[in-house]
């Protein structure tokens, strides 16, 4: 069918015209950028068209409607497919305060500026940058992992907020995914968890095109994906040709009819023009088609070969008459339902409104524990568990769990009302993620984009398994909370395989990530008080296995200084130190002991507690200089981890007492002595610095 701006078309022709508009916009965007992946958008455009036009419960004019269906493009390299859909559907922009703006989320100019500086159409879809992007995708496996968390959130919201006659939440999650998502380990973890939880609101639509960047998928991938997912407990349906809109629709209706498990819809597509047996090498390998191949592709579609970014008359109107009209009716009906719900259940409606704005309920910090001075003390994981439970009593949507380590991480919510989140019992607040650290971290991001205050726990060392999802939480500026225990060689006999050494430095290097390593129980309380109001920062709360002395706050400065990241804990009488001892976590008490002995010898010492260098760095220069006076050059940092990064605080004339090697297997007290984390060592280093200054 030839196309021109004046073409008059039948309904069936309009479908084809719309699909080919999606394809050619994707081709042109990639071609103009000289960068990107045109193949998947070309091949999967019919599936996107069918889903958005016929099934997706989404209002382009109200894209933050809480009960909207979620669409996740896990194969984020196909981003032009999503940008084309956002443009053609007329999705409106939303600002940081969730106000709908009178401008499109993606304009035609944005598509023309694909992958360019400051564009709203970056190479991979980015949450918060472009309205309509439900989660940042690109690293394969992360989108499908996030989708499990979004599905968990949907079922949890249904269980806790729906009431008879008021179905406030019943949204579904649709995910486009690729062979790469099936190969990545996090995808397997996520699929296993979703199958175990029997999440019926989740549908992965698998683009089985048998092509990877290296070449044919069967060079590296030959398993029967359908059999694997059936073993996970999923419903599996198969569409033999992505161009068969009726078959695609049947597959989606089967998902709707499946009430007891998630659905995998395997769709065979053909990278390139989207035609059987027609495959383009560049499209298959993630490159622009090139001028000649672009002309051939457009000719194949019946498109003007020289036209660029052509949107024929009637196409955008067709989407407005489909997803636009349906979404408007659905969201309007929901708004009226929520108005009546607010009248009948004002407390629940108030919670939902606060959740949507990432606000905390009034009195969220009431009843938090305080800890009396105690030389023996308490492990910071223990004090954290007590604080977490107090907070959970005040914040109903604070939910989470652990990767099979809840009893060690102290992440169990003990209230009888908390309950367990399990298949068929989706109202519980305690989650059992199993030994799936990466899958847990990715699911937590999905829960966080759904506005739940989500936390997840494991041993600190195992952030190595979680890091890709943690990094995306930082990129997305999500307030995901990681409760990370067994924080140093102080965990003892498990040895170097379990003893984190470099993890603190590496997480502190991650933009937007806030790392806390509190030094006693009351610092733990203050850390949580700082964490909870955060809206745009993930937090790594790093906690000890071993007991930490609870510092006497009648003798030393109050723990409220934690809110500034670092503060003066102990000082000479006149506040003019000759040497500064900087400590975190379990080593803070060593600095206090060293301070007492140095003071007894007439040496003017200051102790600085630095539970969060990230928060400290946010303070103004006047405050930072008041804590670490530039004129005091003798400075010692003490932390049972890599010294990398501490040079910023100790300076060229200071010293960083830390780990230069991996740890060892032995009782904690023996390890601390072997690696130099003793009061005597701190004093020795401090005196040596004073002797040089």
Please provide the DSSP assignment of 165-210 as one string: TB------EEEEEEHHHHHSHHHHHHHHHHHHHT-TTEEEEEEE--
Burial class (CB in 10 A: 0-12, 13-18, 19+), 400: buried
- What whole-number distance in Å separates Cα of residue 275 and Cα of residue 496? 54
Q: Which residues contact 26 (CB under 8 A, 6 or more apart)?
A: 38, 41, 42, 45, 80, 81, 84
Q: Which residues contact 528 (CB under 8 A, 6 or more apart)?
A: 368, 384, 387, 388, 391, 541
What DSSP designation does 8 have? -
- The backbone torsions φ and ψ at residue 635, rounded to the nearest 5 degrees and listed phi first, read -135, 140
> Which of the residues 287, 293, 437, 639 is marked catalytic?
437
- What whole-number distance in Å separates Cα of residue 303 and Cα of residue 690? 79
Q: 328: part of which helix (H) or strand (E)?
A: helix 325-344
Are the C-beta atoms of 565 and 510 separated by less than 8 Å?
Answer: no
Determine how many CB atoms are found less than 10 A away from the CB of residue 276: 13
> Helices (H) and strands (E) in the chain — how many of each?
26, 20
- What whole-number distance in Å separates Cα of residue 96 and Cα of residue 129? 10
- What whole-number distance in Å separates Cα of residue 176 and Cα of residue 173? 10
Residue ranges with strand state E in 536-577: 539-542, 547-550, 567-570
- What whole-number distance in Å separates Cα of residue 232 and Cα of residue 66? 30
- The backbone torsions φ and ψ at residue 575, rounded to the nearest 5 degrees and listed phi first, read 70, 20
Torsion of CA 386, 388, 394, 398, to 10 degrees: -160
Q: 12: part of which helix (H) or strand (E)?
A: helix 11-33
- 437 catalytic, yes or no? yes
- What whole-number distance in Å separates Cα of residue 428 and Cα of residue 419? 4
Q: Give the closest residue to 682 by CA, choosing from 570, 597, 568.
A: 597
Angle 275-277-282 from CA coordinates, rounded to 5°: 80
- What whole-number distance in Å separates Cα of residue 195 and Cα of residue 191? 6
So which residues are the catalytic ones? Answer: 437
């Amino acid at each position: 069918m030839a196309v021109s701006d004046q073409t008059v078309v039948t309904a069936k022709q309009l479908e084809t015209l719309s699909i080919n508009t999606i394809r050619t916009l994707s081709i042109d965007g990639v071609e103009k950028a000289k960068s990107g992946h045109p193949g998947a958008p070309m091949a999967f455009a019919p599936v996107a068209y069918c889903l958005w036009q016929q099934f997706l419960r989404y209002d382009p004019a109200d894209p933050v409607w809480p009960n909207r269906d979620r669409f996740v493009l896990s194969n984020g390299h196909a981003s032009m497919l999503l940008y084309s859909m956002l443009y053609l559907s007329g999705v409106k922009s939303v600002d940081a305060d969730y106000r709908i703006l009178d401008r499109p989320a993606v304009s035609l100019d944005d598509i023309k500026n694909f992958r360019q500086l400051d564009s709203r159409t970056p190479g991979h879809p980015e949450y918060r940058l472009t309205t309509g992007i439900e989660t940042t995708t690109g690293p394969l496996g992360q989108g499908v992992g996030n989708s499990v968390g979004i599905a968990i959130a949907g079922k949890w919201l249904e269980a806790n907020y729906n009431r008879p006659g008021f179905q406030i939440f019943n949204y579904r999650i649709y995910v486009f995914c690729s062979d790469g998502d099936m190969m990545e380990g996090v995808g397997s973890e996520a699929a296993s968890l979703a199958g175990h939880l029997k999440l019926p609101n989740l549908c992965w639509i698998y683009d089985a095109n048998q092509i990877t960047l290296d070449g044919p998928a069967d060079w590296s991938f030959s398993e029967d994906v359908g059999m694997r997912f059936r073993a996970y407990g999923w419903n599996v349906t198969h569409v033999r040709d992505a161009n068969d809109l009726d078959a695609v629709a049947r597959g989606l209706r089967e998902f709707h009819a499946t009430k007891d498990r998630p659905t995998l819809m395997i769709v065979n597509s053909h990278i390139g023009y989207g035609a059987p047996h027609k495959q383009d090498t560049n499209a298959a390998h993630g490159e622009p088609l090139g001028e000649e191949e672009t002309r051939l592709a457009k000719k194949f579609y019946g498109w003007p070969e020289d036209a660029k970014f052509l949107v024929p008359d009637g196409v955008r109107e067709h989407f407005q008459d489909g997803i636009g009209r349906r979404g408007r009716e659905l969201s309007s009906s929901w708004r009226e339902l929520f108005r009546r719900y607010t009248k009948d259940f004002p407390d629940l409606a108030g919670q939902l409104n606060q959740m949507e704005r990432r606000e905390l309920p009034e009195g969220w910090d009431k009843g938090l524990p305080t800890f009396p001075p105690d030389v023996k003390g308490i492990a910071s994981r223990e004090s954290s568990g007590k604080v977490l439970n107090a907070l959970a009593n005040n914040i109903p949507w604070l939910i989470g769990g652990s990767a099979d380590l809840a009893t060690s991480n102290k992440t169990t919510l003990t209230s009888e009302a908390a309950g367990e989140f399990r298949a068929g019992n989706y109202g519980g607040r305690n989650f059992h993620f199993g030994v799936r650290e990466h899958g847990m971290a990715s699911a937590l991001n999905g829960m966080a984009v759904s506005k739940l205050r989500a936390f997840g726990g494991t041993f600190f060392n195992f952030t190595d398994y979680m890091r890709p999802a943690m990094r995306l939480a930082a990129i997305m500026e999500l307030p995901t909370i990681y409760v990370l225990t067994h924080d140093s060689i102080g965990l003892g006999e498990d040895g170097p395989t379990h003893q984190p050494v470099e993890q603190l430095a590496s997480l502190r290097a991650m933009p937007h990530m806030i790392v806390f390593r509190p030094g006693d129980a009351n610092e733990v309380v203050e850390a949580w008080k700082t964490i909870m109001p955060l809206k745009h920062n993930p937090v790594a709360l790093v906690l000890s296995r071993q007991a930490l002395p609870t510092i006497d706050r009648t003798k030393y400065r109050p723990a409220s200084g934690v809110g500034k990241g670092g503060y003066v804990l102990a000082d000479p009488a006149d506040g003019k130190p000759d040497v500064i001892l900087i400590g975190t976590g379990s080593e803070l008490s060593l600095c206090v002991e060293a301070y007492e002995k140095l003071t007894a010898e007439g040496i003017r010492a200051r102790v600085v507690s630095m539970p969060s260098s990230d928060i400290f760095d946010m303070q103004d220069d006047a405050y930072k200089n008041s804590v670490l006076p530039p004129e005091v050059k003798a400075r010692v940092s003490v932390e049972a981890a890599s010294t990398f990064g501490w040079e910023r605080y100790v300076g060229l004339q200071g010293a960083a007492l830390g780990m230069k090697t991996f740890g060892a297997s032995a009782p904690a007290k023996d390890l601390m002595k072997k690696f130099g984390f003793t009061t005597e060592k701190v004093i020795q280093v401090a005196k040596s610095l004073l002797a040089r200054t």
